[in-house]
Amino acid sequence: MNPYDEFDLEAGLDAAIAAAAEPDVPAPPPWRETRVVGKPLPRIDAYERVSGTAVYASDVILAGMLHAAVLRCPHAHARVTRVDATRARRMPGVRAVLTPDSPGADIPWYGGQKGPLSRLLDRHCRFQGEEVAAVAADTPYQAHDALAAITVEYEVLPFAVSIDAALDKNATPVLDGPGNRAGDPRVVERGDIASGFAAADVVVEETYSTATEIHVPIELHGCVAKWDGPSLTVWDSLQGVFPAQATLARALGLPIARVRVIGPYMGGGFGAKLDTGKYAVIAALLARETGRPVRLFMTREDTITSIGNRPGVKSTVKIGATRDGTLTAIEFRCIGSGGAYSAGGTGGVDWQPLDLYRCPNVRTVSENVFMNAGPERPFRAPGHPQGAWALEQALDTLASRLNMDPVALRLQNFTEVSQARPGQPRYSTTGLRECLTEGARTFGWDDARKAGQRGALTASARGAERGGAVRGGAERHAAERRGVGMAAGMWRGGAGGPPSTIIVRLLADGSANLNMGASDLGTGTKTVMAMVVAEELGVPLERISVEHADTGTTQYTGPSGGSKTVPTEAPAVRAAALAVKRELLALAGAQLQVDPATLSIEQGAIVGAGEGGPRLKVTEVQALRRRGVLVGVGIREPDTHGLAVNPFGAHFAEVSVNTRTGEVRVLRYVAAQESGRVMNLLTYRNQVVGAVTQGAGLALTEERVLDEVHRGRVLTRNLYEYKVPTALDVPPAPECVAIDPHDEVCNTAGAKGLGEPALIPSAAAIANAVADAIGVHIVDSPITPARVLEALARRS
């Protein structure tokens, strides 16, 4: 079975939605020239964000609110034999204690194919950080003091916190099944892999690995829960309020209509907040028991051990090509672990070798292993950066063996069809060729490659170094080697689609309100959607209000993630705004006694065709003044074009490597992205710079470290040990090249996703630049100074 057959399922769902849709309103034509959309405009909520007046979930304070804390298992694998909370219950300020024996706490969690794999508070703890008990008290300090007073006795069990240890024949099963393999390997293939390699003039093969990464958003995971009789309201830091509403209703046995989830401003998520977590159910249980609101936010240490990660993956890549660089075969094997409960350790890793480059013979094998570590969660472009790390470095090795320019090799294998999908449909647009050529031109790729022996910085890099933080002097430069590298990538998603319902209200004073259930993760979603309303209705941005995601007041949509928010919401917002526009023009036409088809909206006025035509301010439309509001409803219609919609990118990096210390500095960076229409050039650039920063973390600094020998514990539990990139770890001014192919087919906004695809090639581009500088590929991430020095020693 092809694991990507879910595309057929999605097509069937889209067909059902299309059949139920209103047939009388034709799809709007693509935008040509735009007045608002595409401009580099500041965010509509910028003042609130920078002034401190924006209210996040972690800022919510309610009258009589209690504070909760969670006691977590300190062992990688253990069984709870005894819990005694007697002392904790007697401590000052303690209002409630939740243990595995508490009524209502035996809630199924971590669903598997054969049923739940665990419980809300499970006596069998399969990773360090599993929840054992919880306390609600008057103050946070009293809650944490009470945790220390709970006596827990454990039977410590054998653990496996690495893939090799989990696969050992003597390893203790993490779950109840035999062994630790999460089912059979997933195999996808096309063509004849053996004949493909037989036809190759050059074959390269190498094994690569990426470390496990942690999301570490600025705002911690947590919520405030409050009951009003039988109804529950939760303020949560989330990427999607509606999935959280369903999760809470299911866990607590409530009708969905009795659960309201409010998502105010949020401080980042990167996939870890696509749904709520155990913390929200625990807070709700404690709030119900005490009859008071309960605030429960996790500590930074607990988020690192317990709330999710990007799984580390080991990949072996074998590629064959003819002398002119034409790929004849790709074989890709990967193995990873989603932790104790998830079988998603290698989800998405094989998409790059399956679909990015034209190759008739491809075989991928993906294996997943359970181990005693925190479960994975989707992390910005799940699986794709790990796949690109391996594939793009292998391609550079192949280019070197062929004595071929890396950009030329990728252009040689450009494709206009999606080879991984059934029937190999054409892409709506594929800007990969333009990303490669325009990115290389902007970067000055040819000149950088011709700069000569390693060690000479290009003129651009010297300028960047003068503009940045210069550390050291002549002695440092004597030990530095310069290298340039590039990598390409694509994101499997980014097309968007149903469901999404939007309401736009035009008020009598000419202002507008946008009712939208999508969360703004900090990426500027509210601003982009307000720009769509402004484009169609001519309302200035400062006169458009956008509501926070709230299951009680805003309309249903999926979570903001997978780079699907703009291509999902923008067409629905446009449809709602156009519904208002049609009604407004019809009312104005009746008042002016002209055909509404001859009218348009310009700068808050309705104007007729031709010079000297009728002109009427929106606020002078009598029917609008009488009614007070015009309401338009838009839904995201399914795509019916039958094409593959994917974003593409190509990134270019210049680095310097100090051969004495092993330090790597990224001096220059150019990211060329094709994500359809640029909706807001400023937020577009911001998304790309953020992605490059996270890519630098994958390449150079970030790694969850586990004690594989003694206790199986996480050794990088804070931001001192777990090193996210800082301003000194990224180039001072990364350049963004926006490729707009004028995709008029993908959706009525012409936009694809951006957040994920901009991250995918970034770490691999840096790794290839390091290899160019020192003459050897460092195949394991992150590229630490120690690994650089080891590689140099091996090369010598």
Q: Which two tokens stand for residue 288?
A: 């119900």
Q: Which two tokens stand for residue 213?
A: 């990464």
Q: What are the residues facing 515 on neighbouring strands?
A: 503
Question: Average pLDDT for residues 361-370, to the nearest whole number?
Answer: 98
pLDDT for the residue 468: 45
Share of the chain above pLDDT 70, in %: 94
Quick one: pLDDT band at residue 142, thresholds 50, 70, 90?
A: very high
Dist. CA 418–CA 407, nearest whole Å: 21
Q: What is the mean pLDDT of residues 262-278?
A: 96
Tokens read off for 675: 């994500």
Q: How confident is the model at residue 466 (pLDDT cuts 50, 70, 90)?
A: very low
**Distance of alpha carbon 371 from alpha carbon 216, whole angstroms:** 22
pLDDT in tens, 714-765: 999 999 999 999 988 888 889 999 999 999 999 999 999 999 999 999 999 9
Q: What is the pLDDT of residue 345?
A: 92
pLDDT surpassing 90 at residue 603:
no
pLDDT at 469 over 80: no
pLDDT value, residue 473: 56
What pLDDT is stored for residue 479 in this prediction? Answer: 86
pLDDT at 566 over 80: yes
The H or E element that residue 460 is part of is: helix 459-467
| Among the listed residues 644, 670, 640, 639, the one whose alpha carbon sits nearest the alpha carbon of residue 430 | 644
Half-sphere exposure of 398 (CA within 13 A, CB side): 34
For residue 215, what are the contacts with CB-CB under 8 A and spacing of at least 6? Answer: 268, 269, 270, 271, 272, 303, 307, 308, 309, 310, 377, 379
Coil, helix or strand for 291?
Answer: coil
Q: What is the pLDDT of residue 176?
A: 85
Give me the pLDDT at residue 23, please: 54
Number of neighbours of residue 474 by Cβ within 10 angstroms: 6
Closest CA to 393 of 710, 52, 781: 781
Residue 461: per-residue pLDDT: 57
- In this prediction, residue 477 carries a pLDDT of 63
- Asked which of 69-78, 122-131, 268-277, 723-732 is least confident by mean pLDDT, the reply is 723-732
User: How high is the mean pLDDT of the chain?
Assistant: 93
CA distance 181 to 178: 8
Burial of 268 (C-beta count, 10 Å sphere; 0-12/13-18/19+): middle
For tokens 């959706």, the residue is: 747
Section 246-270 average pLDDT: 97
Q: Which residues contact 7 (CB under 8 A, 6 or more apart)?
A: 421, 422
Total length of the chain: 796
Mean pLDDT of 644-671: 97
pLDDT at 367 over 80: yes
Q: What is the spatial distance between Cα 685 and Cα 523, in angstroms, rounded to a whole number?
A: 10
Contact predicate 143/68, CB 8 Å: yes
464 pLDDT band, cuts 50/70/90, is low
CATH architecture of the domain with range 313-493+643-795: 2-Layer Sandwich (3.30)
Distance (Å, whole) CA 128 – CA 217: 20
Question: 26: pLDDT confidence band, cut at 50, 70 and 90?
Answer: confident
- Distance (Å, rounded) from C-alpha 573 to C-alpha 37? 13
DSSP 27: P
SS3 at position 38? strand
Q: What is the CATH number of domain 3-56+494-635?
A: 3.30.365.10
The two structure tokens encoding residue 600: 């348009």
**What CA–CA distances, in Å, run from 205 to 163, 396, 397, 401?**
21, 12, 9, 12
The structural domains of the chain, with segments of one domain joined by +, span 3-56+494-635, 61-166, 313-493+643-795
Tens of pLDDT along 381-406? 999 999 999 999 999 999 999 999 99
pLDDT band at residue 5 under the 50/70/90 scheme: very low
Cα–Cα distance for residue pair 237/275, rounded to 1 Å:
10
Kindly report the pTM of this predicted structure: 0.94
Instruction: Report the alpha-carbon distance of residue 748 to residue 140 in Å, rounded.
Output: 49
- Per-residue pLDDT of 763-794, as tens digits, reads 999 999 999 999 999 999 999 999 999 999 99
Distance of CA 606 to the CA centre of its chain: 41
The pLDDT confidence band at residue 475, using thresholds 50, 70 and 90, is: low
Element (H, E) at 550: strand 549-550
17 CA to centre of own chain? 27
Q: What is the pLDDT of residue 20?
A: 43
Beta bridge partners of 115: 112
Q: 61-166 — its CATH code?
A: 3.90.1170.50
CB 372 within 8 A of CB 159: yes
Same fold, 3-56+494-635 and 313-493+643-795: yes
Find the mean pLDDT for residues 681-710. Answer: 97
Mean pLDDT of 138-143: 98
Q: Of 376, 683, 346, nearest to 525 (Cα)?
A: 683
Give the alpha-carbon dihedral of 528, 530, 532, 534, to 10 degrees.
-140
Q: According to the model, what pLDDT value does residue 19 have?
A: 44
Lowest mean pLDDT among 170-184, 255-269, 456-470, 780-794: 456-470
Q: How sure is the predictor about 115, in pLDDT bands with cuts at 50, 70 and 90? A: confident
pLDDT at 434 over 90: yes
Q: At 16, is the pLDDT very low, low, confident or very high (cuts 50, 70, 90)?
A: very low
The C-alpha angle with vertex 151 and arms to 124 and 101, in degrees rounded to 5, equals 50
Which pair of structure tokens corresponds to residue 410? 């990728």
Rg of the chain on CA atoms, in Å: 28
Enter the tokens of residue 379: 């992390």
- For 476-501, the pLDDT digits (tens) are 566 899 999 999 999 999 999 999 99
pLDDT digits (tens, 9 = 90+) for 300-355: 999 999 999 999 999 999 999 999 999 999 999 999 999 999 999 999 999 999 99
Are the beta carbons of 303 and 220 closer than 8 angstroms?
Answer: yes
- State the amino acid at position 61 in one-letter form: I
CA trace torsion 431, 433, 438, 441 (10° rounding): 170
pLDDT at 488: 98
Q: In this structure, how many other beta carbons lie within 10 angstroms of the beta carbon of residue 627?
A: 13
pLDDT at res. 18: 47
